[in-house]
Structure 1
Amino acid sequence: MIEILTTGLPNTVQDLGRPGHLALGVSHGGAMDGRALAIANLLLGNDVSAAGIEVALHPFRLRAHVDTAVAVTGADCTVSIGDRPCPPWWATTIRAGEMLAIEAPRTGARSCIAFAGGLDLPAVMGSRATDVKGGFGGLAGRGLVRGDRLALNPAACALPAGGLGAALEERRGAADGLTSAIELRFLPAAEFDAFTPQARAAFIGGDWSVTNDANRMGYRLSGATLALVSPLELLSHGIVPGTVQVPPSGQPIIQLADANTCGGYPKIATVIEADLWRLAQAPVGARLRFSPTSTAAATEALRAQARWQEAFVTARSLALGYR
């Protein structure tokens, strides 16, 4: 059992989501930074989609009421257990009565917390992810509040003395977004050619800022006004996380984990799945830059992530003395 001490409603229980239900109007959902949650779980020997906590509003604090193990990944934050500081991207033990504290990020936007065995909550449509819009999943379909208590699945977690970490230097640098633009690869969407040549050039060549209108449903961006060649009316059509729509204002909206499953605004691009974690770690005010890519390159990027994850599992086994 863990108890939430300091939190905010944007902090929710998440796993890797509930794919396969878009036709029913149910968002994919799940952790915005799925890679970070997967690595946190792998550090503990969990299934990659075990339910944990996504922290989007810091500081965050919880107290353990049992001896267990915990891993914190995602944004670059100061993390401590009791009076012990923890390195970034680290798994370690936490004793009954000890407090885990995560301070405001230095870079990045979201932290992922995993627990040995995962959070013990009922699955809804195959997932424990919180869908706040639908009011289901997670803890009664809502964000976490002070005093919430969450049960843990029983699990034996083997860790070396002092804990176990993941070296992800490229991720910490890419998640900055304050000193440099975050590069996002994209595929042209169905209405890409319906925008003027000037708009297409501005989309690719310009910097875009994440506005205050940013949450798990999507980010509204600020930058050049993207104009259509001629007015265009569309019936509502399917959209997925990463879809970049352009409403009449000409300012793009990137659909994210909890986005609606259909919409009628023209689509200029789709950010590739392998880069969605970069958006998850883009704080308000971050600068984004879009770079065109190919379907083959997008597929290879996902395969490379899968290979990296497999290598990480092997490295963890070696660190624990397994062969």
Structure 2
Amino acid sequence: MEKKTTISDVAKFVGVSKSTVSQYINGNHQKMSADTREKIKKAIRTLNYRPSKQAQFLTTRKSNLIGVVVADISNMYSSLLLKGISQYFEHTNYHLIIVEAANSEIKEQKILQKLVDQNVEGIIIQPSNDNSTNYQFIANNQIPMVLVDREIEDSPWASITTDNESIVTKVMSSIVEKHYKNVIVVSQPIHRVNTREKRYNTIVDVARLNQLNVKLIEIDESHYLDIDQITKISKTGKTVIFALNGTVLMDTIKLLNDNHLTIPDDIGMTGFDDFNVTEIISPGITSINQPSKLIGETVAKCLDQILNGTPLVDLKVQTVIKSEIHWRNSL
């Protein structure tokens, strides 16, 4: 069995004390020359030394763990978001614990408590609701947290979101120009989910100003959508469906295809998110593209700055990331 390299082996290889190597591993470089740092770095690589995380925690009381909580990991938005977060942190000493709340407040609370128990140093979360009291215990434990995609009312935390109102307004302007009469909004439950509420309220506001009818259809975890409800509305006038996220958009397109409804002749179609699939679906779906990977990189950078002591007012990140519309032939 191959002998495991120890901190003593690294110290002997470099010709320094174990204390010096320990200080290097724990990031205490202030009193260490650049030459010594480089020698220790090369020795660790040459000897394939792997520091004990337990020992590091006992020495520094730092776990180097970041908790990342997403609402629905099956959503492509979440996958690209996680890719951006992980690519940022792979160049640091932090390690990620990635968990899914499955759009459940109860499950989310249990997950957050486990992360607290594991002594995570920071949390990135796509919150399940906008009630700040649900997250107060995170602040009480003095754990830095950054919100992504969704906001929380009266929140003390930084949040990275997209320009929901302005981008939805642009799509709605096109819907108005094309003389639609009805807008069917399809979404997972929107109550107290800040992003969904913003998107829906913007649709309603533009529709009201232009005398369009709006019907909200909320679907549950089974993603069941009643085609009869859609066709009944479409018979009253020119109708478009606006899906509030990518999962719902794909489900709705499949439903229309299965029931032989032609887009846009029988019914218009648009929504979030554009993951290239909407480009190859005939006739091409006009959709809103959120730069999910960039959002992930940005939220990771934001938390990293906070962990390094940057006050919220001095954060050097863009907190609202612009989306773009891919105009195609579905309206």
**TM-score, with structure 2 as normaliser:** 0.32
Q: Which has the higher strand share?
A: 1
**TM-score, with structure 1 as normaliser:** 0.32
Larger RCO: Structure 1 or Structure 2 (Cα < 8 Å, ≥ 6 residues apart)? Answer: 1
Q: Which has the larger radius of gyration?
A: 2
Q: Which has the higher helix share?
A: 2
